[in-house]
Amino acid sequence: MPMLDQVTAGAPQTGTDDLDLAETGVVGVTIVWADNNGIPRSRTVPVGQFGAAVERGVGVTPLFAVFDSHDGITFGRSPLGTPSGDIRLMPVADRLVRLAGQPGFAWVPGRQVAADGSAWPYEQRGVLERQVSRAAALGLDFLAGYEMEFHLSRADGDDGDDVRPIYEGPSYGPARMLAVDALAAQLLRDLDRNGVPVGQFHGEYAPGQFEFNIAPADPVTAADRQLLARQTVHAAARAHGLRASFAPLVTLGQVGNGWHLHTSLYRAGTNLLSGGDGPAGMTADGGAYLAGLLRDLPAVVAVTAPSLSSLQRLRPGYWSGAYTFWGVENREAALRLVPATPLIGAGHANVELKPSDASANPYLALAAVIAAGLAGIEDGLTPPDPVQEDPGTWADERRAERGIRRLPTTVEEQLGTLLTNDRIRSALGEELADAFRAVRVSDAAWAADRDAADAVRSYRWLY
Ligand code: GLU
Ligand code: MG
């Protein structure tokens, strides 16, 4: 995805005054956050209650921190070990959007605070805000943008959880867009009206698969928009008798849905991934950022592609990034550097993280990426040479010589890399890392006596 920072959407239809909202036909405001499985959760308040919600929040159970992917409450340890307690979900009022695809509703991201209004250590948006502040203290800021792949399935006579692709090949064919013409038009219009700027939209590789990319923004905005974009897709799909699956893997053996995460970093407005004399034109700090990501990649990916469905998606040869290496425009690389060119301009250089998907909490995913990259800069790392081939086709010895490892393939390996990595664990905070571990273990226990196809199916409609 080129970093199309010149792409802007129409001004989102915002406004927080209850009366203003009601006058435009809004009857409810849905406050949304993402849990530790990347699953959006919500509360809707009647429009007349929104002002009160902005002041005092709405009460929710703290146990959302330990909900697993199948809505099991893992009852972790204290203070999340009992059904007692309450936290407040506070709407981030200046992010409110009147939803183009749901005229009766407005949407707003939520922030979770303790019952007394103080910071709550399990709050994911705050984890990202901390990393953004840490970067700012070093004189750095970031742009981030998601590519969103998804499958569209017919929902008529819905018999549950089957996927019935809206269209079979050819991949990337314009006739694919014809098959979803009215939906595609509504989606582009609604994303624009909802303030989600899109770079491009296309029919992807697999039957029924599509993709659009969201233009880059500051990290918290990028994560908010990723959540809003899902709501926009679900609403548009439903309006056209379709269902969207964002699951990392929709059907065993097929191409998965990556939500590749592009980041670039700036000092005083200059993109540090271009204009330098390092590999592919990176500056020393830009190279250190990439090297930091590479050093901590397994722990980062435990956050950016954390589910069992993610593990099933990350296979060699699928452009999903199964090995720890970087390359210049190498689509098999977990870290693909998109360098600046005279045509696309210096500002567009970015690093794409491929092992990233819908089951990641978008705030935690970006926080983990930034934490690893900043540590690389603080430690003055230099990246190894880029790999321009597919090391999945190499002998084990050749990969070993280049220090290229397979990313974790089991929950135990994932958690091992995450929990023993001080940089990423401390970015999450001890409490949140512990809750994150609890839900991963709970998901693994759920899947233990089920076959792989059952497990894939169970993630299909969650995100
Ligand atoms: N669908 C692939 C994935 O699982 C990515 C294909 C692409 O590079 O666009 O990440
Ligand atoms: Mg793609």
Q: Count the helix, strand and coil residues of the chain and give each as a percent rounded to the nearest 5.
A: 40, 20, 40
Residue 233: both structure tokens together: 């897709």
Residue 366 has pLDDT above 50, yes or no: yes
Q: Which residues contact 380 (CB under 8 A, 6 or more apart)?
A: 284, 288
Ligand 1 touching residue 195 (CB < 6 A): no
Q: Is-contact 236 151, C-beta < 8 A?
A: no
Q: Give the integer Cα–Cα distance in Å for 67 and 61.
A: 10
- Ligand 1 centroid to Cα of residue 220, in Å, is 24
List 151's β-bridge partners, or say none.
209, 245
Asked whether the beta carbons of 250 and 151 are under 8 A apart, the reply is yes
Asked if 349 contacts 274 with a C-beta cutoff of 8 angstroms, the reply is yes
pLDDT tens for each residue of 405-421: 999 999 999 999 999 99
* 256 CB within 6 A, ligand 1: yes
**Which residue type is seen at 21?**
L
* CB-count exposure of residue 394 (10 Å: 0-12, 13-18, 19+): middle
- Separation in Å, CA 412 to CA 307, 409, 417, 436: 12, 9, 9, 13
Q: Which helix (H) or strand (E) holds 59?
A: strand 58-60
**pLDDT tens track for 160-212:** 667 888 887 788 988 888 889 999 999 999 999 999 999 999 999 999 999 99
Cis upstream peptide for 219 (omega within 30°): no
Long-range contact list for 103-106, CB < 8 A, 24+ apart? 103/25, 103/26, 104/25, 104/26, 104/27, 104/28, 105/26, 105/27, 105/28, 105/29, 105/30, 105/44, 106/21, 106/26, 106/28, 106/29, 106/30, 106/47
Q: Which residue has 């959302």 as its token pair?
A: 64
- Structural contact between residues 204 and 1, judged by C-beta atoms closer than 8 angstroms: no
Q: Say if residues 122 and 92 touch (Cβ distance below 8 Å).
A: no
pLDDT digits (tens, 9 = 90+) for 426-443: 999 999 999 999 999 999
Positive or negative CA dihedral for 1, 402, 309, 225?
A: negative
To the nearest 10°, report the CA torsion of 225, 230, 233, 239: -120
pLDDT per position as a tens digit, 52-104: 999 999 999 999 999 999 999 998 778 898 899 999 999 999 999 999 999 99
Q: Is 36's pLDDT higher than 60?
A: yes
Q: What is the tens place of the pLDDT at every residue in 123-159?
A: 999 999 999 999 999 999 999 999 999 999 988 655 5
Q: Rounded to the nearest whole angstrom, what is the distance from the C-alpha of residue 284 to the centroid of ligand 2?
A: 29
**H helices of 314-421, where?**
362-378, 396-401, 411-419
- Is the beta carbon of 209 within 6 A of some atom in ligand 1? no
Query: Can you say how many angstroms the Cα of residue 76 is from the centroid of all Cα atoms in its chain?
Result: 25
Q: What domains lie within the chain, and their CATH numbers?
A: 18-119 (3.10.20.70), 130-460 (3.30.590.10)
Which residue, judged by its Cα, is nearest atom 8 of ligand 1? 319
Q: Cβ neighbours of residue 392 under 8 Å, at least 6 residues apart?
A: 316, 317, 322, 323, 332
State in Å: Cα 364 to ligand 2 middle: 22
- 253: Cβ–Cβ under 8 A, 6 or more apart, which residues? none
Task: Give the predicted TM-score (pTM) of the model.
Answer: 0.95
234 in ligand 1 pocket by Cβ < 6 Å?
A: no
State whether the beta carbon of 254 lies less than 6 angstroms from ligand 1: no
